[in-house]
Amino acid sequence: MEATRVELAELAPDAQAYLGQLAYLTLVLFENLGRGAAVAPTVSGKSRLGRVAAEVLEIHEAVLAELESRRIDPTEAMEPYRAVLDDFQRRTEGDDWHEILITCYLTSGFLLDFFAGLAAGLPGGLSDRISALLSDDDAEDLLVEELRESIDGNPRLASRLAMWGRRLVGDTMLVARSALRLEDRADGEERIEPIFTELIAAHTRRMDALGLTA
Amino acid sequence: MEATRVELAELAPDAQAYLGQLAYLTLVLFENLGRGAAVAPTVSGKSRLGRVAAEVLEIHEAVLAELESRRIDPTEAMEPYRAVLDDFQRRTEGDDWHEILITCYLTSGFLLDFFAGLAAGLPGGLSDRISALLSDDDAEDLLVEELRESIDGNPRLASRLAMWGRRLVGDTMLVARSALRLEDRADGEERIEPIFTELIAAHTRRMDALGLTA
C-alpha cells in the first residue's frame, strides 16, 4: 500500500472531515455487525461478531477522543456524512446471515484500508496514532474464519456470495471516493485511478481468502 | 446492595454456568444496542449507543478470557443459556427507538446488577475480577442522558415508557431467577424474596432517574 498511501495523502480531507467520516463509518459498521449477530445461526458466530464489533467500537471511541481533544463536537463533525453513509448502508445491507457477514468483511476491509491510506495526509502525530489504530486486523481474521466454515463444501453459497461481493464493491468504491478532496484539482480523475486499482487488488485478495472469484 | 450480595452468593451457580450466562447475556445486550443504533433519530443518539455497546462488549471479552483461562470452550459454556435468553430478548425488544432505548437501560441495569450480586458466590480471584468489571456504570449515565432529553417536556412519551418499563420488569426478573441454583434447596423461595425486593428497589430508582413512576 506504500504508493497508494502517498497518492491518497495528497487527496486527504482536513482532520475534522477525516475524523467525522471515520467516526460515523465505524457506527455504520457496528450496526451491520449488530444486525448480523441478531441473525447468527450459532453461538460462536454471534460471539465472533461481538468481538469484531468491540474492535470497531474501539476505533470509534479513539476517534471521538481525537475530536474532543481538538475541541470539536463529535456530533457536528459526523453530521455532514450521515446521509451518504446511511444511504451506503441501505444499499449494501444484505438479506440474510451470509450476505450480512460478507458485507461486514468486505466493506470494513475496503473502507478501513482506504482510511488507513488517507491517514498519511493528516498532521504528523494524528497521522501516526490513526495509522496504529487502523493497523490491527484480528477482526478480519475472525470474519474470514466464520465465512470459510460456511463456504467450504457449499458451492451454491460460494457462487451467491461471489455475486454479492461484486455487487458490494461498486457502492463501496463510490462512498470511498466521496471522502476525497477533489474539488480544487484539475487532475483529480487521473490521481484517483491508481489508488482504486490498489484498493481493488486488496479486495480481490479478500475474496481469494474465501476461495471466491472477485 | 450488601445484604443482597450475601444472599445471592449462596444461590450462585458454578463458575462455568455463571460465566456462560453472563457471556451470552452481554451478546444479547449488544444486539439490542445495535438495533437501537440502527433506528436512532440523531447522530448523537447513535454514537451514545455505540459507546454503551463498547462497554458491554468489553465485559463480553473479559468473560470469554476467563472461560478460556479455565480451558472451557466459550461456545459450549454459552450454548445452554441461548434459548432462554433469546426468548427473553424477543419478549422485551420494543417497537421503536424509545422503547428499545429504555429496554437497554432497564434490562442491562437490572441484570448486570444481579450478576454483580451473584459474583460474590464465585471463587475468590474470579469474584473480585468480575465485580470490578461490572462496577463501571458510565454506560448507564449515557443512556439516562439520552432518555431524559426525549422525555423532558413530553408527558405522553413518559406515560408510554412508564408502562413499557413495568412490562419489562416481569420478564427481566424471570430471566434473572432462572440463573439461580435453586434445585437443591428446600428454602429456595424464601431466600429469593429479599433479593428481588432489593433488585426491584434499584429498578424503581432507575425509573425515578427518568422521572417515571415504576
**Contact call for B33 and A34, based on CB within 8 A:** yes
Contacts of B64 in chain A (CB under 8 A): 47, 51
The residue with greater pLDDT, A11 or A68, is A68
Residue B213 confidence (pLDDT): 83
**Contact call for A54 and B61, based on CB within 8 A:** yes
Residue B116 confidence (pLDDT): 92
Residue A189 confidence (pLDDT): 72
Residue B3 confidence (pLDDT): 56
Range of the domain at A180: 2-208
Distance CA A34, CA B184 (A): 38
Over residues A141-146, mean pLDDT: 93
**Contact call for A50 and B33, based on CB within 8 A:** no
- Whether the per-residue pLDDT at A10 is higher than 90: the answer is no
Q: Closest by alpha carbon to B131, among B3, B5, B4?
A: B5
- Whether the per-residue pLDDT at A2 is higher than 60: the answer is no
Over residues A120-137, mean pLDDT: 90
Task: Tell me how close the Cα of B6 comes to any Cα of chain A, in angstroms.
Answer: 31
A37, A42, A82 member nearest B31 (Cβ): A37
Return the C-alpha cell found at B55: 462497554
Contacts of A64 in chain B (CB under 8 A): 47, 51
B51, B60, B79 member nearest A43 (Cβ): B79
Inter-residue contact B148 to B210 (CB < 8 Å): yes
Residue B126 confidence (pLDDT): 96
B57, B74, B79 member nearest A57 (Cβ): B57
**Contact call for B47 and A74, based on CB within 8 A:** yes
Q: How many domains does chain B have?
A: 1
Does A201 fall in a domain?
Answer: yes
* Coil, strand or helix at A78: helix
Does A213 fall in a domain?
Answer: no
CA angle A154, A37, B44 (to 5 degrees): 140
In eight-state DSSP terms, residue A186 is T
Contacts of B47 in chain A (CB under 8 A): 23, 27, 60, 64, 74-75, 78
Residue B149: HSE in the Cβ half-sphere, 13 Å Cα cutoff: 11
Does A214 fall in a domain?
Answer: no
Over residues A195-214, mean pLDDT: 91
Find the residue in B nearest to A58 (Cα). Answer: B54
Contacts of A41 in chain B (CB under 8 A): none
CATH of the domain at B76: 1.20.1260.10
Contacts of B50 in chain A (CB under 8 A): 26-27, 30, 57, 60-61
Find the residue in A nearest to B86 (Cα). Answer: A38
What's the pLDDT band for A45 if we cut at 50, 70, 90? very high
Task: Tell me how close the Cα of A3 comes to any Cα of chain B, in angstroms.
Answer: 34
Inter-residue contact B7 to B191 (CB < 8 Å): yes
pLDDT in tens, chain B (214 residues): 555 666 777 788 899 999 999 999 999 999 999 999 999 999 999 999 999 999 999 999 999 999 999 999 999 999 999 999 999 999 999 999 999 999 999 999 999 999 998 998 899 899 999 999 998 778 899 999 999 999 998 999 999 999 999 999 999 999 999 888 876 666 667 777 888 888 999 999 999 999 998 7
- Rg of chain A over all Cα atoms, to the nearest angstrom: 17
B27, B46, B51 member nearest A61 (Cβ): B51
Does B214 fall in a domain?
Answer: no
Number of Cβ pairs < 8 A linking chain A and chain B: 94
Residue A3 confidence (pLDDT): 56
- Whether the per-residue pLDDT at A24 is higher than 80: the answer is yes
Distance CA B98, CA B150 (A): 8
Does B90 fall in a domain?
Answer: yes
Distance CA B2, CA A175 (A): 53
Q: Give the 3-state secondary structure percentages of chain B, helix then strand then coil, rounded to 5.
A: 80, 0, 20
Distance CA A76, CA A74 (A): 5
Contacts of A58 in chain B (CB under 8 A): 54
**Contact call for A61 and B54, based on CB within 8 A:** yes
Does B213 fall in a domain?
Answer: no
Does A178 fall in a domain?
Answer: yes
- Which pLDDT tens digit goes with each residue over A61-113? 999 999 999 999 999 999 999 999 999 999 999 999 999 999 999 999 999 99
Does B182 fall in a domain?
Answer: yes
**ipTM of predicted assembly, 2 dp:** 0.89
Distance CA B154, CA B212 (A): 12
Q: Which residue has the cell 495509522?
A: A131
**Contact call for B75 and A47, based on CB within 8 A:** yes
Residue A192 confidence (pLDDT): 79
Contacts of A47 in chain B (CB under 8 A): 23, 27, 60, 64, 74-75, 78
Residue A74 confidence (pLDDT): 97
Distance CA B180, CA B211 (A): 32
